[in-house]
Amino acid sequence: MSYNQEDEEPFGYSQMPVGSFSKQLGYGYEDDNDQDPFPGAPMSSDNKPRILLMGLKRSGKSSIQKVVFTKMSPNETLFLDSTPKIVKEDISNNSFIQFQIWDFPGQIDFFDHTFDSDTIFGGCGALIFVIDAQDDYTDALIRLRQTTTRAYKVNPHIKFEVFIHKVDGLSDDDKMDKQRDIHQRANDDLQEAGLDITFSFYLTSIYDHSIFEAFSKVVQKLIPQLPTLEHLLNILIQNSCIEKAFLFDVVSKIYIATDCMPVDMQSYELCCDMIDVVIDISCIYGALEDEATAFDNKSSSTIKLNNGTVLYLREVNKCLALVCILREENFDKQGLIDYNFHCFRTAIQEVFELKENTKQKPSKYLNDTGLSNGYMQGPAT
């Protein structure tokens, strides 16, 4: 591991080397005919799933994009200028998660002749509509209806996601009331417009991890391999006495998959914080002069909490980390966990190689559905 002392962002988007990962796992640009980062997901013209951020002016669209993908601190967003035109951000050069985000100006006019619905909605995987929950949202709901009607006509496969945003200023009761009200009114509007759409609603704020969690769920829907990844995580936790496991994209701290146990916000926050700690410590103490990453195949960490819980992090590849939460007494069997982790890691690699190898025989880790066939070891009884 190393950290170039001249770099201001040791692990930021600008320096993160990911090219080798894509090639190794067949997840990116092997050759000109293979530019499909999420095989099967809806693609834009340049073959990357596109996520649109829409909503009224000052609802928080640019802040969300900056906080999640450029590590801007939430307080700095107070000084963001209004977005005058569509800003297209390419996430693909920086992380395992490869897509484009289009941040729209709040005052966009659908009836303007320059607004090309076919191009904008045609290659779109997900449309995130941001509603400012601290403001009157009547106009926002009207705009949501206009937007979805227009988008659905062009592309009925878009996933419609509604972020009820800026909930940091609201009490728990208020949050629930607003969510219920927005949910009800948005769905009534859909029925009235005769649209066969299902909205997913999220309560979000840039001042806590809720925005990362919501974005994780949006991104997961664009990963066709998700059921396989979840199945592998389930096998891993069942055979290793692990309580919860997340597969993280290390740069964005978006989790691309987790097991079937419910996600509680506190566990997710703990795992995010662990990634920060590992990267920070690596940057300070793991530096070698001729390398440029703070996260490599030796990256691993164990943190014991004073409530009898252990957090265990292992590198899966250049962009992904597995972070597990387990009881301290179950960590006695670390050899078993490490063995199972090794099987899991191999299976993950094979999931992403599968596209390349569809004509080849399935290997010992994967059966013909692409799922691990139980080579992981369970604890001795």
Contact residues for ligand GTP (CB under 6 A)? 55, 57-63, 77-78, 80, 82-83, 105-106, 165-166, 168-169, 205-207
Residue 184 CB, nearest approach to ligand GTP (Å): 23
Beta bridge partners of 85: none
Nearer to ligand GTP, 74 or 122 (CB): 74
Nearer to ligand GTP, 214 or 326 (CB): 214
Residue 316 CB, nearest approach to ligand GTP (Å): 31
Residue 202 CB, nearest approach to ligand GTP (Å): 12
Those residues with Cβ within 8 angstroms of residue 375's Cβ, 6 or more apart along the chain or in another chain? 343, 364, 365
Convert 130-167 to b/e letters by CB count within 10 Å (16 or more is b). bbbbeeebeebbebbbebbbebbeebeebbbbbbbbbb
Nearer to ligand GTP, 63 or 92 (CB): 63
Residue 73 CB, nearest approach to ligand GTP (Å): 11
Nearer to ligand GTP, 178 or 314 (CB): 178
Nearest Cα neighbor of 141 from 183, 191, 91 is 183
Q: Which two tokens stand for residue 48?
A: 């990357």
Q: How far apart are CA 32 and CA 321, in angstroms?
A: 29
Residue 86 CB, nearest approach to ligand GTP (Å): 11
Residue 57 CB, nearest approach to ligand GTP (Å): 4
Nearer to ligand GTP, 60 or 123 (CB): 60
User: Is residue 127 helix, strand or coil?
Assistant: strand
Q: How far apart are CA 292 and CA 25, in angstroms?
A: 21
Q: Which residue is nearest to ligand GTP (CB)?
A: 106
Nearer to ligand GTP, 53 or 186 (CB): 53
**Distances in whole angstroms, Cα of residue 20 to Cα of each of 7, 30, 61, 330:** 21, 10, 32, 35
Q: Which two tokens stand for residue 271?
A: 């795992």
